[in-house]
Amino acid sequence: MLIEFFRYIAAGTATTLAVTLVALPLGLVIGLTFALAHVYGGKVLTQVMRLYSTLMRGMPPILLLFILYFIISGSINLSPFWAGSIALGVVSSAYQLEILRGAILSVGGEQMMAARAIGMSRLKAIRYIILPQALRMAIPPWSNEASIVLKDSSLVYALGVAEILRRAQQLSATTQQPFMAFGTAALIYFILVFTANRLLDYVSQRTRIPANPLG
Amino acid sequence: MSQPVLVAQNLTKTYGKNVIFRDISLSVNERDTIVIVGPSGTGKSTLLRCLNLLTKADSGKIWLDGVEITDPTRCSEDECRQRIGMVFQNFLLFNHLTALDNVMIGLTKVKKMPKEQARRKAMEELERVGLIDRAGHYPGQLSGGQQQRVAIARALAMEPRVMLFDEPTSALDPELIGEVLAVMKQLAREGMTMLVVTHEMGFAREVANRMIFMEKGQILEEGTPDDLFERPKYERTRQFLWKIAELHGRKAAEENG
């Protein structure tokens, strides 16, 4: 029976991963664009980005999910899966904006100055000097955000998307075994988050800039 | 007479109500090595940054090889900076790139030089500063002196018309200063046009053909190193020069014994 529980709930894993794999990169693209606008965009853009970030981070994700879901599904005809994933991506973009902004700022204006001093344009300096360093620095906090999005993907269950949590709830209702059902879901989430974090740790190690004397 | 390479006229820079410097005019001729000295906070660093347009001067004009670079219609900022090399106090190597890539990146990304050619050129520049065996090292794996020499190679690779040095040895441990000064002396001997902000009076006396003493945002006095050290017009110049020469001398003496 345990195996059947596991099989039924695990069938939602693909959906959970799909939601995450839409939301996370979308959040990254928006977050990175907005972070660059925040740091290099001049006064007006900086204020706009600050407002965006503060608003988005000032509300519970599930509430934003509902609001964005009804905006998105009200204007274009999208399935709950796509609408929910996109909404989660937008929520995440505000957090990723802050992670990337912090990383860009910690690379520092002096690296930009050095790049400009050899004749690079601002755009080239961002592309070849600032981002390669900032993105490396952002991996550990970004890894944290990735596991948050992975876990928050469970929120689309409220829109009726059959991911891990929704399947666990269905099973709990039909079998009257809530502990088994939710316990199985918890285990699957844990394995996913754990694996994702190890994977990103590995990426972080592989891309680390050597600093020890080679002799 | 040698050609003027870099000419500044009536440069003024203020931050809010603070006047950093006012009405600075100077001319750097081909093969000149000019040393700028002066107490800290007199705008020497800001002056260098204005000269290669990293900081915008409030007023005044700058010419590079007779072309006014403060006029954006005559020369784009990025193009101008390629022809003015800059070496910073704290090196500012690109931390994610090896020594070789630090020197190469301007060639490949700014000058669009093919990779193989850029690599060869970059290796030549590293050889010039004596670091060919450190080509594959990252900045974090190099000593301060080595980092500064890579930074000099990075600037030289762009084949600048003039090199600006902003206190290139101030952030270095005393025992590492010599190797950087040696590279700079060699450059001067090879005829590189240089404008150097430094407190290394030994370097100034040995290499500079002209010295500028700046104080409170103005050029107080300029002339040959001998003029400034032995026959200064102002008592203030004598005081300052001998004080830092003495301080550095004492430091050096302590290091040696």
pLDDT (average), residues B81-88: 95
Return the DSSP state at A128: I
- What pLDDT, in 10s, does the model give residues B221-256? 999 999 998 899 999 998 898 888 777 666 655 655
- What pLDDT, in 10s, does the model give residues B163-199? 999 999 999 998 999 999 999 999 999 999 999 999 9
In what helix (H) or strand (E) does residue A27 lie, and over which residues does it extend? helix A13-40
Residue B141 has pLDDT above 60, yes or no: yes
Indicate yes or no: CB of B81 within 8 angstroms of CB of A128.
no
Among candidate residues B75, B101, B96, B57, the one with its CA nearest the CA of residue A119: B75
Q: Which residues of B touch A121 (CB under 8 A)?
A: 78
Q: How many CB pairs under 8 A join A and B?
A: 70
Question: Taking the CB of residue B50, how many other CB atoms lie within 10 A of it?
Answer: 24
The tokens of B173 are what?
């441990």
Place of tokens 């004080």: B243
- What pLDDT, in 10s, does the model give residues B21-42? 999 999 999 999 999 999 988 8
pLDDT at B249: 63
Q: Which residues of B touch A115 (CB under 8 A)?
A: 94
Per-residue exposure over A142-169, b if at least 16 CB sit within 10 Å of its own CB, e if not: bbebbbbbbbbbbbbbebebbbbbbbbb
pLDDT at A99: 98
Residues in contact with B77: Cβ distance below 8 Å, sequence separation at least 6, in sequence order: B53, B69
Residue B257 has pLDDT above 70, yes or no: no
- What pLDDT, in 10s, does the model give residues A63-115? 988 888 888 878 888 888 998 999 999 999 999 999 999 999 999 899 999 99
CA distance A129 to chain B (A): 7
pLDDT (average), residues B77-84: 92
pLDDT at B253: 58
The tokens of B14 are what?
């203020």
Indicate yes or no: CB of A212 within 8 angstroms of CB of B137.
no
pLDDT at A195: 96
Residue B157 has pLDDT above 80, yes or no: yes
Indicate yes or no: CB of B96 within 8 angstroms of CB of A133.
yes
Largest CA distance in chain A: 69
pLDDT along chain A (215 residues), means of 10: 82 92 97 97 95 94 88 83 92 97 94 96 96 96 96 91 90 90 93 96 92 60
List, as one string, the DSSP characters of chain B. Answer: -PPEEEEEEEEEEEETTEEEEEEEEEEEETT-EEEEE--TTSSHHHHHHHHTTSS--SEEEEEETTEETTSTTTS-HHHHHHTEEEE-TT----TTS-HHHHHHHIIIIIS---HHHHHHHHHHHHHHTT-GGGTT--GGGS-HHHHHHHHHHHHHHT--SEEEEESTTTTS-HHHHHHHHHHHHHHHHTT--EEEE---HHHHHHH-SEEEEEETTEEEEEE-HHHHHHS-SSHHHHHHHHHHHHHHHHHHHHHH-
